[in-house]
Amino acid sequence: MDLSNGSPVITDPMAMGQPLMGVLPSNMMPFSIMPGGYSSAGGAGVSVSRRKIEEVLVNGLLDAMKSSSPRKKHNVVFGQENLPEEDPAYSAWITKCPSALASFKQIVASAQGKKIALFLDYDGTLSPIVDDPDKAVMSPVMRAAVRNVAKQFPAAIVSGRSRKKVLEFVKLKELCYAGSHGMDIMTSSANYIHNTEKGKEANLFQPAREFLPMIDEVHFLFHSEANQLHPLSLVSKSLLEVTSGIEGASVENNKFCVSVHYRNVDEKVNIMSIRQFDGPAPSLLLWMYLQIHLTFLHVCCSQDWKLVARLVNEVLEGFPRLKVTNGRMVLEVRPVIDWDKGKAVEFLLQSLGLSDSENVIPIYIGDDRTDEDAFKVLRERNCGYGILVSQVPKETEAFYSLRDPSEVMEFLNSLVRWKKHSI
């Protein structure tokens, strides 16, 4: 991988001049549609066609939201509910993606005479998944386990959170940190913690730096007189604005991506959307008037996951260089660049002098769909192991699995004991 250029190539140059409406779950890449939707000749027909396209895209995103966010019980060790009894589907899945604890001897046997490099997701891996993202704190015993393993092996946190925020959660200088799904990498955290500006800049790699103003624009409130000329469009509104009326929704600025959390939003409210209109085509001015007021009522009456998906899509119409991906109870608005957690792992391995696949065994532990990019890289390199943290069967590129953060902690402690005994 050529890392000499700090700005990866845009993956979809044809979409640069077209509005972004949404994504389909098959590849999570942006779709483009015809701009506008209103015209003096046949305007209503164009709008109906546009709404149909939007409905397909929104439903595709909604399906992805549901598939990546299964409802399940969590581990009582971390202050949550008890696990349900294992079902046949999970038992069948665990034979294909066996427990990393049960397979521990096999894993370390393959690492004999080699160096292990460890990569860890944060939410759902080192901390429990909680209703309030700001309260996903790391337990003292987990922090001790991460500190101990980082003293024995090269280690990095690779998270969708902003690098600053995940560093505040972890509070350890022994690790490298890659925030914003690997778009904000610091190869040494010691300089950051001691606030050495020169050292901090020297260790930073930010392949999406040019997108910072755009990300801020999506996240924060902004208005202009020009936007008042097109009152139907939500392009002029930020994610904070359009989600503020949805009970349970929250928006988090993670520097190089914006996260729309819907964990606390009702999945479905059985109220028909009054935005649907099947009567005779109204005049353009009447259509605009109806859309303004019906959109407002629709937001107030239909607070569900589908509304979240619809509003995110509508906001992104004005940002063709951004795309939407989905994780566990979250939609991520990210730059359309060829960069992900897998690329971040490759960059870290190369930067830390660990790219020799003959002598290095990378292990990546994560629970989210975005971690699959890293799992895939390790599988394609035919070197190292992806470990998925999950209590339910999932399609995955990982070789092994762990149930929850408590098992992750047990695995980390086992690595430390093994390393000390093998010296």
CA dist., res. 316 & res. 335, Å (int): 11
Mapped onto helix, strand or coil, the DSSP state of residue 188 is: coil
pLDDT in tens, 191-228: 444 444 444 444 899 999 999 999 888 876 322 322 33
pLDDT (0 to 100) of residue 284: 63
3-state secondary structure at position 381: helix
Q: How far is CA 407 from CA 102, 226, 403, in A?
A: 11, 54, 6
- Percent of the chain at pLDDT > 90 equals 45
Q: Output the pLDDT for position 262.
A: 84
- Considering only 7-11, 173-177, 321-325, which range has the smallest mean pLDDT? 7-11
Higher pLDDT, 318 or 228: 318
Q: 25-76, pLDDT tens digit by residue? A: 333 333 333 333 333 344 445 455 656 666 666 776 767 676 666 555 444 3
Contact 347, 1 (CB under 8 A): yes
Give 24 or 206, the one with higher predicted confidence: 206
- Considering only residues 92 and 294, tell me which one the structure prediction assigns the higher pLDDT: 92
Gap between the Cα atoms of 211 and 319, Å rounded: 11
Residues 6 or more apart whose Cβ sits within 8 Å of residue 106: none
Rounded Cα gap, residues 385 and 204, in angstroms: 26
Where residue 18 falls among pLDDT bands split at 50, 70, 90?
very low
Burial 187-210 (b: 16+ CB within 10 A, else e): bbbebbeeeeeeebeebbbbbbee
Contacts of 66 (CB under 8 A, 6+ apart): 267, 305
- Answer yes or no: are the C-beta atoms of 362 and 114 closer than 8 Å: no
Burial class for 356, CB neighbours closer than 10 Å (0-12, 13-18, 19+): exposed
Residue 378 and residue 398 in contact, taking contact as beta carbons nearer than 8 Å: no
Q: Is the pLDDT of residue 154 over 90?
A: yes
Q: Please state, in angstroms and rounded to a whole number, the distance separating the CA atoms of residues 174 and 135.
A: 23
Per-residue H/E/C for 193-208: HCCCHHHHHHCEECCC
Contact 19, 33 (CB under 8 A): yes
- What pLDDT was estimated at residue 133? 87
Average pLDDT value for residue range 287-297: 54
Which residues contact residue 225 at a Cβ distance below 8 angstroms, ignoring those fewer than 6 apart?
none
Quote the CA–CA distance of 182 and 343 in Å, as a whole number.
8
309 has a pLDDT exceeding 70: yes
**Residue bearing the bigger pLDDT, 26 or 320:** 320
* Residue-wise pLDDT tens digits, 120-150: 999 999 999 888 888 999 999 999 999 999 9
Please give the average per-residue pLDDT across 226-236, as a whole number: 35
H or E stretch covering 386? strand 385-389
**Rg from Cα positions in the chain:** 23
- Span of 8-12, 190-194, 332-336, 412-416 with lowest mean pLDDT: 8-12
**Alpha-carbon distance 415 to 105, whole Å?**
10
- pLDDT score for 351: 94
Residues 6+ apart with CB under 8 A from 96: none
pTM, 2 dp: 0.71
Nearest-angstrom CA–CA distance, 162 and 84: 33
Nearest alpha carbon to residue 33 among 42, 25, 41, 24:
24
Give me the pLDDT at residue 25, please: 35
pLDDT tier at 109, thresholds 50, 70, 90: very high
Contact 123, 132 (CB under 8 A): no
pLDDT at 86 over 80: no
pLDDT of residue 87: 79
Read off the tokens for 340. Answer: 């992900």
Q: How many residues does the chain have?
A: 423
Mean residue pLDDT of the chain comes to: 75
pLDDT greater at residue 274 or residue 198: 198
Q: What is the pLDDT of residue 244?
A: 67
Quick one: pLDDT band at residue 355, thresholds 50, 70, 90? very high
Segment 41-50 long-range contacts (CB within 8 Å, at least 24 positions apart): 43/284, 43/287, 44/281, 44/282, 44/284, 44/287, 45/281, 47/287
End-to-end CA distance of the chain: 34
